[in-house]
Structure 1
Amino acid sequence: MDNMECNKLQPVVRKVKKKQVKDELDRQKQAEKKKRRLEIALATSAAIISELEKKKQKQKEEQQRLDEEGVAIAEAVALHVVLGEDSNETCEIVLNKDEVLTFKSYEAVL
Protein backbone atom coordinates (compact mmCIF):
# COMPACT_ATOMS: atom_id res chain seq x y z
CA MET A 1 0.00 0.00 0.00
CA ASP A 2 2.78 2.38 0.73
CA ASN A 3 4.06 1.92 -2.80
CA MET A 4 0.66 2.77 -4.26
CA GLU A 5 0.41 5.96 -2.27
CA CYS A 6 3.86 7.04 -3.38
CA ASN A 7 2.97 6.32 -7.00
CA LYS A 8 -0.16 8.44 -6.74
CA LEU A 9 1.70 11.44 -5.35
CA GLN A 10 4.36 11.55 -8.02
CA PRO A 11 2.04 12.28 -10.98
CA VAL A 12 0.32 15.01 -8.98
CA VAL A 13 3.65 16.66 -8.21
CA ARG A 14 4.63 16.53 -11.87
CA LYS A 15 1.38 18.19 -12.96
CA VAL A 16 1.84 20.94 -10.40
CA LYS A 17 5.36 21.60 -11.64
CA LYS A 18 4.23 21.72 -15.27
CA LYS A 19 1.42 24.05 -14.31
CA GLN A 20 3.82 26.26 -12.36
CA VAL A 21 6.12 26.45 -15.37
CA LYS A 22 3.18 27.26 -17.64
CA ASP A 23 1.92 29.94 -15.22
CA GLU A 24 5.41 31.43 -15.08
CA LEU A 25 5.60 31.49 -18.89
CA ASP A 26 2.16 33.13 -19.03
CA ARG A 27 3.30 35.77 -16.52
CA GLN A 28 6.40 36.45 -18.60
CA LYS A 29 4.33 36.80 -21.78
CA GLN A 30 1.92 39.14 -20.03
CA ALA A 31 4.83 41.18 -18.68
CA GLU A 32 6.31 41.43 -22.20
CA LYS A 33 2.95 42.50 -23.64
CA LYS A 34 2.57 45.10 -20.91
CA LYS A 35 6.10 46.35 -21.57
CA ARG A 36 5.34 46.66 -25.31
CA ARG A 37 2.10 48.53 -24.59
CA LEU A 38 3.95 50.91 -22.27
CA GLU A 39 6.69 51.46 -24.85
CA ILE A 40 4.08 52.24 -27.50
CA ALA A 41 2.27 54.60 -25.13
CA LEU A 42 5.56 56.33 -24.31
CA ALA A 43 6.42 56.72 -28.00
CA THR A 44 2.94 58.11 -28.68
CA SER A 45 3.29 60.57 -25.82
CA ALA A 46 6.68 61.68 -27.09
CA ALA A 47 5.26 62.22 -30.58
CA ILE A 48 2.36 64.27 -29.19
CA ILE A 49 4.71 66.38 -27.08
CA SER A 50 6.94 66.94 -30.12
CA GLU A 51 3.98 68.09 -32.23
CA LEU A 52 2.80 70.44 -29.48
CA GLU A 53 6.29 71.93 -29.20
CA LYS A 54 6.38 72.46 -32.98
CA LYS A 55 3.00 74.21 -32.87
CA LYS A 56 4.13 76.34 -29.93
CA GLN A 57 7.30 77.35 -31.79
CA LYS A 58 5.29 78.13 -34.93
CA GLN A 59 2.90 80.34 -32.93
CA LYS A 60 5.87 82.08 -31.32
CA GLU A 61 7.41 82.79 -34.73
CA GLU A 62 4.06 84.04 -36.08
CA GLN A 63 3.63 86.37 -33.09
CA GLN A 64 7.16 87.68 -33.58
CA ARG A 65 6.45 88.33 -37.27
CA LEU A 66 3.24 90.17 -36.39
CA ASP A 67 5.09 92.23 -33.76
CA GLU A 68 7.76 93.18 -36.30
CA GLU A 69 5.10 94.19 -38.83
CA GLY A 70 3.34 96.25 -36.17
CA VAL A 71 6.57 98.04 -35.33
CA ALA A 72 7.21 98.71 -39.03
CA ILE A 73 3.72 100.20 -39.42
CA ALA A 74 4.10 102.31 -36.29
CA GLU A 75 7.46 103.62 -37.51
CA ALA A 76 6.01 104.46 -40.92
CA VAL A 77 3.06 106.28 -39.38
CA ALA A 78 5.34 108.19 -36.99
CA LEU A 79 7.63 109.16 -39.86
CA HIS A 80 4.63 110.24 -41.89
CA VAL A 81 3.37 112.43 -39.05
CA VAL A 82 6.80 113.91 -38.37
CA LEU A 83 7.43 114.76 -41.99
CA GLY A 84 3.92 116.20 -42.35
CA GLU A 85 3.47 114.87 -45.84
CA ASP A 86 0.62 116.11 -48.02
CA SER A 87 -2.71 114.87 -46.71
CA ASN A 88 -3.89 113.69 -50.13
CA GLU A 89 -0.97 111.36 -50.77
CA THR A 90 -1.23 107.63 -50.55
CA CYS A 91 1.26 105.97 -48.24
CA GLU A 92 2.58 102.48 -48.98
CA ILE A 93 4.38 100.30 -46.49
CA VAL A 94 6.12 97.22 -47.78
CA LEU A 95 5.84 94.46 -45.16
CA ASN A 96 7.19 91.55 -47.16
CA LYS A 97 7.87 91.00 -50.83
CA ASP A 98 4.23 90.08 -51.40
CA GLU A 99 2.49 92.28 -48.86
CA VAL A 100 1.98 96.00 -49.32
CA LEU A 101 -0.14 98.03 -46.93
CA THR A 102 -1.65 101.19 -48.43
CA PHE A 103 -3.66 103.90 -46.73
CA LYS A 104 -4.58 107.51 -47.34
CA SER A 105 -3.07 109.95 -44.92
CA TYR A 106 -5.34 112.55 -43.40
CA GLU A 107 -4.40 115.96 -42.07
CA ALA A 108 -5.36 116.50 -38.48
CA VAL A 109 -7.69 119.42 -38.01
CA LEU A 110 -7.02 121.38 -34.81
Structure 2
Amino acid sequence: MAKTDPYAALRFKEFNIFLLLRFALVFGWSMQFVVIEWQVYSLTNDELSLAIIGLCEFLPAFFLAPFAGHIVDRKEKRNLFTVCIALFSLISFGLFWLTSEAVEAFWSTNSIL
Protein backbone atom coordinates (compact mmCIF):
# COMPACT_ATOMS: atom_id res chain seq x y z
CA MET A 1 0.00 0.00 0.00
CA ALA A 2 1.35 3.40 -0.98
CA LYS A 3 1.95 5.95 1.71
CA THR A 4 -0.13 9.11 1.26
CA ASP A 5 1.23 12.57 1.93
CA PRO A 6 -0.98 14.41 4.47
CA TYR A 7 0.43 17.77 3.31
CA ALA A 8 -0.14 17.26 -0.42
CA ALA A 9 -2.90 19.89 -0.55
CA LEU A 10 -0.53 22.55 0.82
CA ARG A 11 1.59 22.29 -2.31
CA PHE A 12 -1.16 24.00 -4.34
CA LYS A 13 -0.87 27.79 -4.46
CA GLU A 14 -4.62 28.30 -4.82
CA PHE A 15 -5.35 26.19 -1.74
CA ASN A 16 -2.83 28.18 0.32
CA ILE A 17 -4.48 31.43 -0.79
CA PHE A 18 -7.87 30.00 0.13
CA LEU A 19 -6.61 28.99 3.58
CA LEU A 20 -5.13 32.43 4.18
CA LEU A 21 -8.32 34.21 3.12
CA ARG A 22 -10.47 31.84 5.13
CA PHE A 23 -8.35 32.41 8.25
CA ALA A 24 -8.49 36.19 7.78
CA LEU A 25 -12.27 36.18 7.28
CA VAL A 26 -13.04 33.94 10.25
CA PHE A 27 -10.70 36.00 12.43
CA GLY A 28 -12.42 39.22 11.30
CA TRP A 29 -15.88 37.78 11.85
CA SER A 30 -14.93 36.63 15.32
CA MET A 31 -13.59 40.07 16.19
CA GLN A 32 -16.77 41.66 14.85
CA PHE A 33 -18.99 39.41 16.98
CA VAL A 34 -16.96 40.25 20.08
CA VAL A 35 -17.18 43.98 19.36
CA ILE A 36 -20.94 43.77 18.80
CA GLU A 37 -21.45 41.90 22.06
CA TRP A 38 -19.16 44.29 23.92
CA GLN A 39 -21.01 47.33 22.60
CA VAL A 40 -24.47 45.90 23.33
CA TYR A 41 -23.42 44.99 26.85
CA SER A 42 -21.95 48.45 27.43
CA LEU A 43 -25.25 49.99 26.32
CA THR A 44 -27.63 47.67 28.18
CA ASN A 45 -25.67 46.07 31.08
CA ASP A 46 -27.96 43.07 30.57
CA GLU A 47 -26.83 39.46 30.15
CA LEU A 48 -30.09 38.59 28.43
CA SER A 49 -29.14 40.89 25.55
CA LEU A 50 -25.96 38.87 25.05
CA ALA A 51 -27.99 35.67 25.04
CA ILE A 52 -30.33 37.09 22.41
CA ILE A 53 -27.35 38.07 20.25
CA GLY A 54 -25.99 34.53 20.55
CA LEU A 55 -29.38 33.15 19.59
CA CYS A 56 -29.55 35.49 16.59
CA GLU A 57 -26.15 34.19 15.46
CA PHE A 58 -27.13 30.52 15.87
CA LEU A 59 -30.71 30.28 14.59
CA PRO A 60 -30.16 31.43 10.97
CA ALA A 61 -27.20 29.08 10.61
CA PHE A 62 -29.21 26.18 12.03
CA PHE A 63 -32.34 26.69 9.93
CA LEU A 64 -30.62 27.68 6.67
CA ALA A 65 -27.98 24.92 6.67
CA PRO A 66 -30.03 22.38 4.65
CA PHE A 67 -30.94 24.98 2.03
CA ALA A 68 -27.40 26.34 1.91
CA GLY A 69 -26.06 22.87 1.21
CA HIS A 70 -28.43 22.51 -1.73
CA ILE A 71 -27.50 25.93 -3.13
CA VAL A 72 -23.77 25.28 -2.76
CA ASP A 73 -24.09 21.97 -4.58
CA ARG A 74 -25.85 23.58 -7.54
CA LYS A 75 -23.86 26.82 -7.92
CA GLU A 76 -20.23 27.50 -8.69
CA LYS A 77 -18.45 27.77 -5.37
CA ARG A 78 -15.95 30.48 -6.29
CA ASN A 79 -18.65 32.96 -7.36
CA LEU A 80 -20.83 32.07 -4.37
CA PHE A 81 -17.88 32.62 -2.02
CA THR A 82 -17.24 36.03 -3.62
CA VAL A 83 -20.90 37.04 -3.29
CA CYS A 84 -20.99 35.96 0.37
CA ILE A 85 -17.83 37.93 1.17
CA ALA A 86 -19.19 41.02 -0.60
CA LEU A 87 -22.53 40.85 1.22
CA PHE A 88 -20.92 40.28 4.59
CA SER A 89 -18.57 43.21 3.95
CA LEU A 90 -21.57 45.38 3.09
CA ILE A 91 -23.28 44.38 6.33
CA SER A 92 -20.08 45.06 8.28
CA PHE A 93 -19.76 48.50 6.71
CA GLY A 94 -23.41 49.19 7.55
CA LEU A 95 -22.81 48.29 11.20
CA PHE A 96 -19.72 50.50 11.22
CA TRP A 97 -21.68 53.40 9.70
CA LEU A 98 -24.59 52.99 12.13
CA THR A 99 -22.24 53.17 15.11
CA SER A 100 -20.22 56.13 13.83
CA GLU A 101 -20.24 59.36 15.79
CA ALA A 102 -22.17 61.32 13.14
CA VAL A 103 -25.06 58.84 13.04
CA GLU A 104 -25.01 58.43 16.81
CA ALA A 105 -25.19 62.20 17.28
CA PHE A 106 -28.10 62.39 14.82
CA TRP A 107 -30.09 59.68 16.60
CA SER A 108 -29.31 60.86 20.12
CA THR A 109 -30.77 64.35 19.69
CA ASN A 110 -33.87 65.07 21.67
CA SER A 111 -37.04 64.76 19.66
CA ILE A 112 -40.70 64.81 20.40
CA LEU A 113 -42.38 61.49 19.64
Fold match (TM-score > 0.5) = no
Q: Which entry has the higher C-alpha Rg, 1 or 2?
A: 1
- Which structure has greater helix proportion? 2
Q: Which one has more relative contact order, counting CA pairs under 8 Å at least 6 apart?
A: 1
- Which structure has greater strand proportion? 1
> Normalising to structure 2: TM-score of the pair?
0.34
> Normalising to structure 1: TM-score of the pair?
0.35
